[in-house]
Amino acid sequence: MGAIGSGRKKTHLSTSDCITIDIKDLRGYLTGGTCYLIDDKVKCTVEGKQLEIAYAFVEKQIRESVQLVTTILPNIGGKRYWMLCPCCQRRVRILYISMVGYPTCRTCLELNYPSQRSSAIERHITYEKYLLSNYGYSWAFHKYHSYHFRKGG
């Protein structure tokens, strides 16, 4: 069922390979102010409905302006903030800065999540780690499993 090197090819970048600008990290600054992200490498300034992003990329300073929009939360009340992708004008929560150098959304950069690249064995190991961290070893001794093993199959 597949030899070494078979499987999905890594033709696209992963979201973990890029710098992320998340609206959640800017929560306290959305009414106005300046925020520094990623060890003071990215400076985000909110002025009205505009988000100014300043950062250094390959020995040059880049300053990009991104529009902020809000949606009303009808059942909860309040607002949810979004950024508009400069490339496709979609509402997004996270913008990514890749080797291209400009902030765009995951769709425009054709990025994959790291979990989309994992094999079936890696997914199973991740699930087992999840079970162990949340339930300890008790999930392995569940009533169904002990019955299943006593019957011999």
Interval 25-50: pLDDT, tens: 888 888 788 887 776 778 888 888 89
pTM of the model: 0.69
Q: Report the relative pairing of strands 94-97 and 91-92 from DSSP bridges.
A: unpaired
The pLDDT assigned to 130 comes to 84
- Integer angstrom CA distances of residue 75 from 24, 78, 92, 93, 115: 20, 9, 21, 20, 33
In this predicted model, what pLDDT tens digit does every residue of 83-140 receive, in sequence order?
Answer: 999 999 999 999 998 877 788 998 888 888 877 777 888 888 888 888 888 877 766 5
